[in-house]
Chain A
């Protein structure tokens, strides 16, 4: 009965309610399909955005995201997102691909954003009573949610722009140019290679488990479910471990020395730098505009 009177408890109920939606979504995903989707640069690889120096693109995108997450006005955030949409169009990325990638946002950030109208105190503008649960959405919460979703949207567009026009290999080359330790670069490369292998292994195990008539229980106290899932993960661990050892020995036998051949990248051209500066200056301009720069911009006229 006191649940309705207690906003924290309410937020908790929303949280629980939406986690089902969240993980149900994530669980139905075929990993390797998604990875395929991302490992190939999208769109027509002929666009000039694809040919920009990856280092410039990495710096520009990181800077743009960092600046745009500081924006608070919805107008400026919408402009930032709009600018990225223009860039995406200029890179001629397929719209359908972009939409399907944006759907990924829903489970991760969408849930939290959806909760905001109900948990930020303020002027209520919508109520819904259902048994002992009362949902109250506030105007402030709604505006807050809109601002955050615009921020997330802009950031995702930026990451998508970077990944879709650059491809993983060039991004990693750019990172190693920026003195990211070679260990991490290699780790990321090897992991991606084996996510396919381990993912396939897991899919086969899931199929076998289902074929043997396994139906997961509905709660935490279903011992059989946890024993079965735990054993699945344990066997997957052992198999991955042994595969790792085999791979290690095979690579040693082929003369792997732990060295990573680093390509020496030519310095970025003026055209690349100009584009990078342009992207960054849009973000800086929006930030200044928000800080009240528009007042002295007008006074220049």
Chain B
């Protein structure tokens, strides 16, 4: 999912970078409450958490394995704006230290994994969660949100690579979407477990005590 340098056409990566920059500017202004509240260290810890969570592999099929993207998890637990800031931080660190994703492709990678994925997850979660009440409804909403966020990011990634003329769309689209449809199931299952676990625990405490990172009431 991390696009390396050289896979994207200049007009694609410049355009994606511009979109990402706009989205991040919006995220900074929407999380102003947190930032004024001097909670940046707490957000940093959350970014480190997402980074570590991405290191955990889960089995997919036939000996293959995938790993969590964390976009949906961050969006559901911390809100989409904070999730964007956190995932962008993770992507920048991966780029500088692990060469995971290119420098020129950073804008595109941020767009796919730090903007599209969290917002698709958050939108789905609110929409489906609003339709079906109760525990089963929330489980379904969480699973769908996670699965769709992975698929949306994979779709955006395929389109960027295909429109750059690197790989024909007919090749990259089925391959990316097919593989990520499976990865998305794993992402969905894990996100469901985490969200239900955390909300049970937080439900036991008085909600008034919780200051949400990101300052977004969920």
Contact = CB atoms under 8 A, between A and B. Distances in A.
Interface of A: 7-9, 11-12, 14-16, 19-20, 23-24, 26-27, 29, 31, 34-35, 38, 61-62, 65-66, 68-70, 101, 104-105, 108-109, 112, 116, 119-121, 148, 151-152, 154-156, 158-160, 163, 168, 171, 181, 183-184, 186-195, 197-199, 201-202, 216-220, 222, 225-227, 229-238, 240-241, 243-245, 247-248, 251-252, 256-258
Contact of A66 (B10, B63, B64): B10
B71 interface: no
Contact of B4 (A61, A109, A160): A109
Contact of B52 (A14, A34, A236): A236
Contact of A258 (B10, B40, B168): B40
Interface in B44-78: 44-49, 51-53, 55-68, 73, 77
Contacts of B26: none
Interface in B78-111: 85-86, 88-90, 92-93, 95-104
Interface stretch (B123-131, B133-141, B170-178): B170-178
A175 to B, nearest CB: 10
Given A62-B103, A218-B63, A16 B179 contact: yes
B38 A252 contact: yes
B5 A243 contact: no
A19 B171 CA distance: 17
B186 A108 contact: no
Contacts of B35: 183, 258
B161 to A, nearest CB: 9
5 contacts: A16-B64, A26-B57, A186-B40, A216-B58, A238-B198
Contacts of A11: 171, 174-175
Contacts of A154: 6
B100 A226 contact: no
A191 B56 contact: no
B197 A234 contact: yes
Contacts of A14: 175
A69 B5 contact: yes
B194 A233 contact: yes
Interface hub of B5, B41, B68, B176 (most chain A Cβ within 10 A): B41
Contacts of B43: 187, 190, 244
B179 A69 contact: no
Q: Determine which residue in A119, A195, A201 has the highest number of CB atoms from chain B within 10 A of its CB, and name it.
A: A195
A244 B5 contact: no
Given A163-B97, A190-B43, A234-B193, A65 B5 contact: yes
Contacts of A222: 59
A155 B6 contact: yes
A190 B10 contact: no
B41 A251 contact: yes
B38 A226 contact: no
A237 B59 contact: no
Given A20-B64, A187-B85, A12 B4 contact: no
Given A190-B44, A197-B48, A248-B38, A65 B103 contact: yes
Contacts of A202: 52, 55-56
Interface in B179-215: 179, 182, 185-186, 189-194, 197-198, 201, 211, 213
B194 A234 contact: yes
A191 B48 contact: yes
B175 A12 contact: yes
B64 A230 contact: no
Contacts of B4: 108-109, 112, 152, 155
A235 to B, nearest CB: 8
Nearest to B103: A65
A298 B37 CA distance: 63
A15 B179 contact: yes
B159 interface: no
Nearest to B78: A241
Contacts of B176: 15
B155 to A, nearest CB: 15
A198 B38 contact: no
Nearest to A109: B4
A188 B60 CA distance: 32
Contacts of B104: 62, 65-66, 69, 155
Given A34-B97, A65-B103, A244-B41, A217 B59 contact: yes
A69 B6 contact: yes
Contacts of A241: 42, 45-46, 49, 213
